[in-house]
Structure 1
Amino acid sequence: MYRALKTPSRLLLMLTLATVVLLAGCTDVGVEPESDASAERVFTDDSSYEAYLAKLYGGLNVTGQQGPDGNQDIGGIDEGFSQYMRMYWSLQQLSTDEAIIAWQDSGIELLNTHAWNEDNQFVRGMYDRIFFQVSHANEFLRQSTRSQLESRGNSQQVIEQMPQFRAEARFLRALSYWHGLDLFGNIPFVTQEFERGAEPPEQATREEVFNFVEQELLAITGEAGDTEEVLAPIGDAEYGRADRGAAYMLLAKLYQNAEVYVGENRSNDVADYTARIIDSGAYSLEEEYHNQFLADNEFSPEFIFAIPHDGQRTQHYGGTTFLGNASLGDQAGDFGFTGWYGLRTTSAVADRYDSNDERPVFPNTTGNQFIQEGRSKEVTDIPDFANGGGYIVPKYQNVTSQGEPGVNSEFSDVDYPMFRLADAYLMYAEAAVRGGGDMSRAVTLVNELQERAGLPGNLTSSDLTLDFILDERSRELLWEGHRRTDLIRFDEFTGSSLNWPWTQIEGFSSPDTRKLFPLPGSELRANPTLEQNPGYSGGE
């Protein structure tokens, strides 16, 4: 299939202009974002609303006001570390059996060994990013009511566009609140109705945040009877922006983990919403698995919601710039990167793949699976990238499907696939095994993925066990930011019986309290009404 070189989407172009109107942020969820210009003056310009919305999307991507460093969004952490998806990926992957990092950068190595605490800068940075997003989404919703638009004399076109813009802002806020309840449990909670400058925000329970996210997503998809502030129909949004397909996927994610969050099996709902995605006709499996992780992957028919990266317009040291560079050393030039000598995988991952599975046989490599030359499968020395073992995973490559390099070897053109169709297939299959959905359909869906991977695709219903599905999720979705949440849902993230192949860790045991990260110590000091998660300083 022919693929053209990447051209900038309207979202990327608007993100370039978004700093003109951004109300520069703080990381305190209850504090109004600061501004060099009053909202009344800024928002008389019709274009400011779309630019602000672009910055909300940009909060998942860029790290500051100029990029790649300088004038960063959040403080207390190196700007390169602070990119939203870099920190999310690190917490989701480095805390599991899928990834090891060689670096010893002020606490990142503690993610590998479950030794983080409430002062870990990566835990704090993720928390701050979540509430940076929430604060700005709330501000957008405060400033974009119909009465505000009419009082400022904004055009009729803006008034007509605003309900969908507001639905997108609500989706982005719901996404960050989902990350918050998944990673941290009971968290501070505010909406645009919160009276700024009053008392510190109260801490909501996981159930309360769950219910809010659910109701928001039902509202902006029209499921709750709302007819005004709704997302574009499934498959109709501009690439990189949320439509109802993205919201259905987030709903399904919420329901998939409902037993962890609120003690309820919502497998029927998982099957319902993933089936809507699958049956919509808006998406299809990418014929070539690896095309989803190349520099022109914006053309993939499989993406439900992706975060666009552009080597010229979204320069930062996170996202797929981090995932591509940190995974490579001397061989980086073959993959369009410069190489940072950091990430590799473990023998547990290597052993999960059948020798005929094509998913770990990457373009621009020689040999069998992963990059194995001169390396042991076992990790023998975590800080030693070159000689400490562990296969290299060049999953994200800054090279197009036509073999052309990205526009900039230092910064990635590879878009980050937050939600894609294969995940919906596996979520449906898991829901069927857990009592929701149709088992025969689940078998058909998983066999489609097996066939794309070069395997026979002859699984039967008896093969579709929970153990198989957990392993298949690791194989299909390797290094895509799902592993920690998956392991917790399958009750395999903590305990003394974990068999994770870290040869430096003898007798490794992780308490159940590690299923949540701690609220940052700095947040507890700023808001003494908050209660720390059990197992951490200040918690029971």
Structure 2
Amino acid sequence: MNRTMKNMTKRYYTLNVSKIIGLACLVMMGMVSCNKLDLTPTNDLTAEKVYATPAGYKQALAKVYGAFALTGNAATGQQDIPVEIIKDEGNSDFLRLYWNLQELTTDEAAWSWQNDAGVQGLHEISWSSINSIINGLYYRSYFQITLCNDFIRQSSDDKLSERGITGTDADNIRKYRAEARFIRAYQYWVLMDLYANPPMVTEETQIAAKDFPKRILRKDLFNYVESELLALENELVAPKGNEYGRADKAAAWALLSRMYLNAVVYTGTPKYTEAITYCNKITGAGYTLHGNYRELTIADNHLNTDENILTINYDGTNTQNFGGTTYLMHGPANVPADVSGSNGDWGGLRMTHQFVNLFADKTGTTDTRAQFYMSGQSLEMTDLYVSTSGYSSTKYRNKTRSGAAAPHQDAAKDFSDIDFPLFRLGEVYLTYAEAVLRGGNGGSLPTALTYVNALRTRAYNGSTAGNISSTALNTDFILDERGRELYYEAIRRTDLIRYGKFTSNTYLWAWKGGVSGGTAVADKYNIFPLPPTDLSANPNLIQNTGY
């Protein structure tokens, strides 16, 4: 399997960002504070030199992708990432920040160490605007957007013409440009989903000391991301036509289907028909369910090109940091090293019994998706910050499907070789089913049932014993099934909000609202606050309601 992008990412991303891009500031608010953007780097590796050749463009693209998976001072834009996050670089990895906000805030996960920066208040859903994880993800997303903007700017037809790049080389770079636009659209979806009304910066934005980025309303940001993804349908390579770990048309379709499923949250207008349309495009593009659920999140899951649509690539020797899937491998509390494929656990992640009880058989003997570590762990999370309180997960294991060591295992077994599935077919099947049940056109209930039962047949090791009838297929079942199928894949918070169960008393879990039995919380927590530093620096911004 081609792992070119995984290796390129490390090799080029470790270069100082200012050397590669020649920007005076790395993240959006850092850009705001500059007097001008035409400052010349103190070294001689300017943008004109980096982008002088087709090879230079591909190296720069690897750095854009690398911002998903790597940290480091240059990578974090440390002038804006909260200092307590910088002290532990693993906390500044995009996936760890994003995963924490999508999972620690729900029934699926709690973290034992309440003194870790930003943790206290997340599971209790009682955070403030100075939470370092909330602020850290915001700046991390804008950091990658800034990288994308520069690449998009440098790869315009005018720039290619100026540099004498023509023919096949120019065509390839236009494909790279489309990928950078997709990554930017993905990050703006993250900001729309979590922060609702952020500032907007594109490659065309001119920012000076007196010109601050404009705030964009959530509905308008939805329209922007939608328009970008629809345009990219004609510019990205065909499904399965790119190197592993790089975006293609199917990635754009997957993000569109996810956005359309949640459109009523973002805009007030349902778009279930559109969700079905883009699910159909994916199912018609040759993707199939991988045969073994437990192979979806292990060290050689790069082989799962049957189901994986887009992944964040991690490598035990080439993308080393303590975020990403390293966090998901080490984090689950008290899981033995020989199970996780690591050198030991961090005693951190556990699950509430409300989530675990979605599985009738918690051993995984019948439904193999039940991957819990129970020895020495209590089922009920009687204490939010005790590592033995609540079952742990063994879903992310740094071993191959044969049980062998990870293919790029570091000697100390510190780091994960597990790629993280941003989009896979299993989610698409469930999106289709829910959109049909919610009244979308272009699909059918028999097909929805077929998709759900295909997932359950896989989960039950090929047996139809877990299959359901059409009378059992309803939206509540789909939410539970999404929990069983997609847990620890950073989508739970978004799902619970769509169902009206994140802040309300219609679904309670241990320590929601800060009490052991759970309680409703204010609706303001459906959206995270904007960082106070941005509010003080940019008069165009308005804090989200309630903060």
Question: Is contact 1:83–1:318 with CA below 8 Å preserved after alignment?
Answer: yes
Does residue 463 (structure 1) correspond to residue 472 (structure 2)? The answer is yes
Question: Is contact 1:127–1:180 with CA below 8 Å preserved after alignment?
Answer: yes
Instruction: Tell me: CA distance 1:311–1:272, structure 2 relative to 1, closer, same or farther (3 Å).
Output: same
Partners of 2:542 and 2:310 lie apart in 1 by: 34
Question: Is contact 1:359–1:453 with CA below 8 Å preserved after alignment?
Answer: no
Partners of 1:196 and 1:522 lie apart in 2 by: 17
Instruction: Please list the CA deviations of residues 202-232 of structure 1 after superposition, one character each: whole Å capped at 9, or x if unmatched.
Output: 100011110110000000102xxxxxxx000
**TM-fit CA distance, 1:457:** 4.5
| Match of residue 420 from structure 2 | 416
Out of 294, 299, 305, the position equivalent to 2:303 is: 299
| Match of residue 219 from structure 1 | 231
**TM-fit CA distance, 1:17:** 2.4
SS of alignment partner, residue 108 of structure 1: coil
Out of 371, 379, 382, the position equivalent to 1:380 is: 382
**TM-fit CA distance, 1:144:** 1.2
Instruction: Tell me: CA distance 1:238–1:447, structure 2 relative to 1, closer, same or farther (3 Å).
Output: same
Question: Is contact 2:82–2:132 with CA below 8 Å preserved after alignment?
Answer: no
Partners of 1:495 and 1:473 lie apart in 2 by: 19
| Match of residue 484 from structure 1 | 493
Question: Is contact 2:215–2:541 with CA below 8 Å preserved after alignment?
Answer: yes
Out of 89, 101, 112, the position equivalent to 1:91 is: 101
Instruction: Please list the CA deviations of residues 220-272 of structure 1 after superposition, one character each: whole Å capped at 9, or x if unmatched.
Output: 102xxxxxxx0001121111000000000001111111000001111111111
Letter aligned with residue 92 of structure 1: Q
Question: Is contact 1:33–1:139 with CA below 8 Å preserved after alignment?
Answer: no
- TM-score, with normalisation over the residues of structure 1? 0.90
Unaligned runs of 5+ in 1: 1-5, 223-229
Instruction: Please list the CA deviations of residues 160-218 of structure 1 after superposition, one character each: whole Å capped at 9, or x if unmatched.
Output: 21211111010000000000000000110121111132500010001111011000000
**TM-fit CA distance, 1:65:** 6.6
| Match of residue 430 from structure 1 | 434
Out of 171, 179, 195, the position equivalent to 1:168 is: 179
Partners of 1:276 and 1:63 lie apart in 2 by: 35
Letter aligned with residue 295 of structure 1: A
Aligned runs of 1:26-45 on 2, under 5 Å? 26-28=26-28, 30-31=31-32, 35=41, 36=43, 37-45=45-53
- Give the superposed CA RMSD: 2.4
Question: Is contact 2:261–2:272 with CA below 8 Å preserved after alignment?
Answer: yes
Partners of 1:168 and 1:8 lie apart in 2 by: 17
Structure 1, 391-400 or 501-510: larger mean CA deviation: 501-510
| Match of residue 144 from structure 1 | 155
Out of 283, 288, 293, the position equivalent to 1:284 is: 288
Instruction: Tell me: CA distance 1:159–1:360, structure 2 relative to 1, closer, same or farther (3 Å).
Output: farther
Question: Is contact 1:26–1:33 with CA below 8 Å preserved after alignment?
Answer: no
| Match of residue 277 from structure 2 | 272
Aligned runs of 1:197-236 on 2, under 5 Å? 197=208, 199-222=211-234, 230-236=235-241
Does residue 505 (structure 1) correspond to residue 483 (structure 2)? The answer is no
Question: Is contact 1:110–1:116 with CA below 8 Å preserved after alignment?
Answer: yes
Unaligned runs of 5+ in 2: none
Partners of 2:521 and 2:257 lie apart in 1 by: 28
Partners of 1:14 and 1:85 lie apart in 2 by: 16
Aligned runs of 1:71-470 on 2, under 5 Å? 74=81, 76=83, 77-78=85-86, 79-104=89-114, 105-154=116-165, 156-197=167-208, 199-222=211-234, 230-281=235-286, 283-300=287-304, 301-329=306-334, 331-338=336-343, 339-355=345-361, 358=364, 370-385=372-387, 387=388, 389-406=389-406, 407-408=409-410, 409-436=413-440, 437-454=443-460, 456-470=465-479
Partners of 2:465 and 2:338 lie apart in 1 by: 34
Partners of 1:428 and 1:113 lie apart in 2 by: 32
Instruction: Please list the CA deviations of residues 463-483 of structure 1 after superposition, one character each: whole Å capped at 9, or x if unmatched.
Output: 111110000000000111000
% of aligned pairs identical? 39
Does residue 48 (structure 1) correspond to residue 59 (structure 2)? The answer is no
Structure 1, 45-54 or 315-324: larger mean CA deviation: 45-54
Question: Is contact 1:234–1:243 with CA below 8 Å preserved after alignment?
Answer: yes
Instruction: Tell me: CA distance 1:7–1:268, structure 2 relative to 1, closer, same or farther (3 Å).
Output: closer
SS of alignment partner, residue 311 of structure 2: strand
SS of alignment partner, residue 264 of structure 2: helix
**TM-fit CA distance, 1:124:** 0.5
**TM-fit CA distance, 1:133:** 1.2
Does residue 22 (structure 1) correspond to residue 33 (structure 2)? The answer is no
Question: Is contact 2:13–2:62 with CA below 8 Å preserved after alignment?
Answer: yes
Question: Is contact 1:448–1:457 with CA below 8 Å preserved after alignment?
Answer: no
Letter aligned with residue 348 of structure 2: G
Partners of 1:33 and 1:284 lie apart in 2 by: 49
Q: How many residue pairs get matched?
A: 516
Instruction: Please list the CA deviations of residues 349-391 of structure 1 after superposition, one character each: whole Å capped at 9, or x if unmatched.
Output: 111013288489779xxxx861112221001122211x3x201
- TM-score, with normalisation over the residues of structure 2? 0.89
| Match of residue 225 from structure 1 | none
Does residue 534 (structure 1) correspond to residue 545 (structure 2)? The answer is yes
SS of alignment partner, residue 443 of structure 1: helix
